[in-house]
Chain A
């Protein structure tokens, strides 16, 4: 058996080894998948050995999701083969893969919160008694027995929706096992749950491994991957870099493999360290001290100066979005203070935060755009009262909008077009224009350039710098290290609800960021 290394010269020069001589339970060879013009996977080999926990890591867009979608029958490869126990298989659907014993746990759980735990465990396969009615006794007893066997202490007659997210995940895993899965794929299972819950999840994973199940574990949290996995496969730019035993890896080593040091990547990512300027000497615009929201983030303290871009880096589930939402009045905080422009504030709602001079561009475009309304109605909405008289006429609105979408670079520059007709990048520019109708004191940008092409990205980021020059304080949230490095004056890294590092007036590289995330 050969694990072909698709990178001609891996940076590490690591010699690839197999940990066991057993035949893989599931494997893909030379798999390629394209979406339109973009290649998501290119000539990837991947072998899953029986009874192992296999970590799968890589940056956003490296191809992890595509690989597991192929393994679980959601997508079919354009080229290459999938083998189970050495035989070529073609999964027609997720249900087909399931019937081969492959179960997938998605980030978004796919269960029924209104049903009981036991009902969920037996979802779609309820046993019936001799009258053809659902056999509740068996369902409850069986579900309870299985949960107990895995050491999960949950009342199976409780509604699933009453459980914490972590416990719901344990139930989902029980359900997948119960429907006969031998191979379980977990996609970012720890990003939305607390640390003790993650530990419980790991216990269950070890228990399953002891019972001969095979698991694939995808995560951005490299410590977690190293803690739980037997072997780790690293993907980069839709290719496989290496598969290595976890015992031979460390976090810096993994990061190096994920980012790579080869020259070809220099153009599209920040390999070299950038030099951050000294801390701004202008007045602080926003000072957050000891802000805590139970279950979301703890003891968050930072300052944003006037005319400064503070970058906030972390992975999904690190709590960045929650901090932003707390500033915008949609997440309740238990303790801590927020001072904006010298005044202590407690944003109670978005309308309240807006009046205080805070603007928030959410990461979720669906939550910001009115696709069926004209562009000008989208743009003028947030500050109608400043823009127009109580009883207004549309032409003035359209004029104001035309100036603003000119500035943000919306194309076509047609204010009476419906916003839903625009491309994604242009929709984002419309949402940005909305918050520029009245200059905010603090502009919070959550993933402002996600999914944009390079040109549009540049335009938006140039505009952000322009706003900084005008004295606007900007809090930039992103899970993309490149965006953070390219735009920030100062950088904070968040991990699991806490600020883990501040970078100021120093050299900083992508590796440094990943190390603390």
Chain B
């Protein structure tokens, strides 16, 4: 795929197979380190638990991770630009609540069209984030912190703090765990499509290239004639929109919209993206990394539940420890990459 550098490029030919492998590994360390983590975990849980490697459980893994996978697509764009979005969880909750609110139609009845309106609202909130960050100059951390409060406040306002127990049929159909297409949960197909679209945009479009360059060296991007502020604003809009889709998938899966739900979405999503190897400092990483990070995250939380002798009360702490170990592996791999680079 687009993110891999070819291992064999014009170089002297008297090198051994090991050299070639080493160079390939060091060049793609950012992708290979999380892949190694994923394979290790997958193998571990396959051998230590009986349930993990069953079709039913793997479907479960996919269903669990799919909603945040969509938000992670947006977060990947944001991190590649060396910015942060803390408002994704609130926007996601608000959007879900809004779609349900329009569906119930006590005050405004839009039926299934409410889904579209809610998605546009999500994109709009992201656009507001982007405008203030790119054109007014508020740091993204502060701006999205404010948006976090605004969006979750709006969710409470719309519902008067009460959950809505009716959600659009189409969302319920998409979100329900039992709804399979060729043995794959439909919600997983939605998430995979989002990741694929994100990958195509990042790896194969002008805009995607501009995102990388804006994050990699903003001054240089500007001096190359890239409208970095526009790029930044659009990226924040993408993040808002994808958070909105996540919110819809959540209400579909739970068959209810709760204004106080979804607080874990923020941490889980950012953790998954970073775990995949996308740099918090911009310009490096991509959708393949995010896919990797999401799978690590999903396999880990699912697998730990299945371990027979693990105290349920220790699970959360252990999750954190394993995530830390995975991050260490990423850092070490990148250091190896840099050493190798210097000797090239």
On A, residues with C-beta under 8 Å from B are 328, 330, 349-351, 353-355, 360, 362, 366-370, 372-374, 377, 381-382, 384-385, 388, 390-394, 412, 414, 416-418, 420-421, 434
Contact = CB atoms under 8 A, between A and B. Distances in A.
A362 B225 CA distance: 12
A384 B223 contact: no
Nearest to A377: B209
A328 B205 CA distance: 26
B344 A350 contact: no
A499 B197 CA distance: 54
A393 B205 CA distance: 9
Contacts of A390: 205-206
A370 B213 CA distance: 7
A414 B10 CA distance: 7
B264 interface: no
Contacts of A370: 213, 216-217, 220, 283
B107 interface: no
B206 A353 contact: no
Contacts of B283: 370, 372-373
Interface string B200-219: 10001110011011001101
B6 A384 contact: no
Given A367-B223, A394-B2, 12 more contacts: A330-B222, A350-B223, A350-B226, A355-B225, A367-B217, A370-B213, A372-B283, A382-B225, A385-B206, A388-B206, A392-B205, A393-B204
A377 B216 CA distance: 12
Contact of A351 (B212, B217, B220, B227): B227
Contact of A391 (B5, B204, B226, B344): B204
Interface in B284-331: 284
Contact of A382 (B205, B219, B224): B224
Interface of B: 2, 5-6, 9-10, 200, 204-206, 209-210, 212-213, 216-217, 219-227, 283-284, 341, 344
Nearest to B227: A351
Nearest to B283: A372
Contacts of A366: 217, 219-220
A373 B216 contact: yes
A394 B344 CA distance: 24
Contacts of B10: 412, 414
Nearest to A434: B224
Contact of A381 (B9, B204, B226): B226
A362 B223 contact: yes
A278 B222 CA distance: 38
A61 to B, nearest CB: 27
B222 A350 contact: yes
Nearest to B203: A394
Contacts of A394: 2
Contacts of A372: 216, 283-284
Contacts of A350: 222-226
A351 B6 CA distance: 32
A420 B344 CA distance: 12
Contact of B5 (A351, A416, A434): A416
Nearest to B212: A373
Contacts of A377: 209, 212-213
Given A367-B219, A414-B10, A391 B205 contact: yes
Nearest to B219: A367
A350 B227 CA distance: 8
Contacts of B2: 394
A369 B220 contact: yes
A421 B5 contact: no
Contact of B225 (A353, A373, A388, A391): A353
8 closest A-B pairs by CB:
A354-B225, A384-B206, A351-B225, A351-B227, A367-B219, A350-B225, A382-B224, A370-B216
A372 B212 CA distance: 11
7 contacts: A349-B227, A355-B225, A366-B219, A373-B212, A382-B225, A385-B206, A391-B200
